[in-house]
A and B are shown apart, each in its own frame.
Chain A
């Protein structure tokens, strides 16, 4: 675990003389985080939209039904899962392998900026000349903005609204101040709702990009998030890590 790169020997590629190596990139905690996070956000987004606009109507007496109550309950359970996974990922930023820190906006490092622009222009020019083992700068920036920053925003507004059902309780003390700061409970709902859509927007772009990159580099990008290893052609080893 402590080592940064675990080379798993050479594996012959199917075509011609190209030779690939398998490199251990995503450690188990990262992969676990990824899928827990993706599932939690999917659950939060869909239950959140239901909370905002409950379309199913149950019939009969209210004591026989608990539709809205249940959906809110799922939202809150997923919210705690999201928050715990989130904190776990932050911990792993420091204690994971070097790829756990890859792509992070090291704005004070010129190399990061160079990589950012290079990656952005590569996508725009439909040119894919540049290979990374960890996240590239653009990917890292997107996770920082759309998962870390937005995640904090969503947790602050979410737990503030959550605290309202127990005034004076733990969460009220922790984040209750967010409500007046944003101009009241109602506006907090509106922000939370807007942020939810930004997650959805991120997810669309993110999934497109990983499919695109995976096909382009043939490096097993998507399976790397499941199995942990990426394929790298022996003759173009990653230069930035």
Chain B
């Protein structure tokens, strides 16, 4: 299969160097094709691409973040998957994972931008605080905002890892003291894939990278720039507790009989009905479980504003009007009671006036008022 070897090593070259067998390699291609929702024959295409295309350089930047995306990524459930993906891309710059440090690292980043303009993938974990000239996140003395824009300029694709980069996450939650903004608000002229989640599921991350490498284009994205294949449905749509939801069987307390029977967690604040992610399909940690599987409601970590949509254990949160802390239910009851009160007060005033005016004040020929 070695027709005209490219100047840079292919993924397959690197894998075989690392002792991955051909058999495992083909397994990986098949698993990934399935995860991407592709037809089985596509496994061959993936294998072909990995054997012929040079590895794509990836610059993985870290802004304001907690590194949970990286943690998730390096724990890709299938050890093979993790291996393959880490080797598949040429992770040239990742200040968390790489051995080099200090100015050396920054040199590498600049070199890659120079050597592979328009070819490398920019992966962003975390986001950029924009307030006060970006001083709240600096790397090697440079504001992260500047590093991000500089690196994005010649990138082929931008991958926004996690909720920070996609939606803002906790650092952008109200009142957002550092002015943190998601990547899409700073970079406008590059194709961006949002991969929300806190963190995203490892298989989602590796699946996306494999797609980029194999087909050399973005997967189909939804309105919010998320790969449809992973974010096309809500947790609720595939939740195994859904039959209890439809039946009307809900956990009311964390230790009640319903909780022991595994009933639906809707009334405990489960955000599954409003959250787009693959947790109820892929699950986590090699398919072991996911929050709902462990008896805890979904907190909606892959949704925009999820920190501001709390409290996590209440079905309703505050109405989305700045400065209002009450739920729609509380606001609504006040409105309705006020309306009822106003009507009652008016009715009483009318009655008093009628009584005062007496029978003679029949100004509008309202002769029948007395009999009513």
The answer to whether A191 touches B336 (Cβ under 8 A) is no
Minimal beta-carbon separation of B297 from chain A (angstroms): 13
Known contacts being A194-B328, A204-B343, is A218 close to B336, with CB within 8 Å? no
CA gap between A202 and B336 in the complex, in Å: 8
Separation of A215 and B317 alpha carbons in the complex (Å): 42
Q: In the docked arrangement, what's the CA distance between A200 and B247, Å?
A: 28
Q: Is B214 an interface residue (CB 8 A)?
A: no
Alpha-carbon separation in the docked complex, A221 to B329 (Å): 33
For A164-205 the 0/1 string (1 means CB < 8 A from B) is 110110000000110110111111111101101110111011
Please name the residue on chain B nearest to A196 by beta carbon.
B332
Decide if B369 touches A67 in the complex (CB within 8 Å).
no
B320 in contact with A65 (CB, 8 Å): no
A63: CB under 8 A from chain B?
yes
Answer whether A190 and B316 are a contact pair too, CB < 8 Å, given A185-B275, A212-B347: yes
- Which of B5-13, B57-65, B229-237 forms contacts with chain A? B229-237
The A-B contact count (CB < 8 A) is 167
Please indicate the chain B residues that have their CB under 8 angstroms from the CB of A193 in the complex: 316, 328-329, 332
Residues in A whose Cβ lies below 8 Å from that of B328: 190-191, 193-194, 196-197
Chain A residues with CB under 8 Å of B200's CB are none
Contacts of A233 in B (CB 8 A): 365
Contact B248 A68 (CB under 8 A): yes
A-B residue pairs, 5 tightest by C-beta:
A197-B332, A67-B248, A185-B274, A65-B247, A208-B343
Q: Please, could you name 20 A-B residue pairs with CB atoms under 8 Å apart, sorted by A?
A: A14-B368, A53-B315, A57-B258, A58-B247, A62-B247, A66-B246, A180-B304, A184-B274, A185-B234, A188-B274, A193-B329, A193-B332, A197-B329, A197-B335, A197-B336, A198-B332, A200-B332, A201-B338, A216-B364, A216-B366
B203 on the interface (CB 8 Å rule)? no
- Judged by a CB distance under 8 angstroms, whether B176 is at the interface is no
| Chain B 305-344 residues near chain A, CB threshold 8 A | 305-306, 309, 315-320, 327-329, 331-333, 335-336, 338-340, 342-343
CA–CA, A32 to B303, complex, Å? 42
Q: How large is the interface on B (under 10, 10 to 19, 20 to 34, 35 or more residues)?
A: 35 or more
> Counting CB contacts under 8 A, is B346 at the interface?
yes
Contact code string B244-268 (vs A, CB < 8 Å = 1, else 0): 1111111010000010000000110
Chain B residues with CB under 8 Å of A126's CB are 346, 349-350, 353
The answer to whether A63 and B320 have CB atoms under 8 Å apart is: no
Check A9 for interface membership: any CB of B closer than 8 A.
no
Residue of B233, B246, B271 touching A68 (CB-CB under 8 A): B246
Determine if A52 and B303 form an interchain contact, defined as CB atoms under 8 angstroms apart: no
Known: A180-B223, A191-B320, A208-B346. A65 touches B249 (CB 8 A): yes
Q: Are A62 and B274 in contact (CB under 8 A)?
A: no
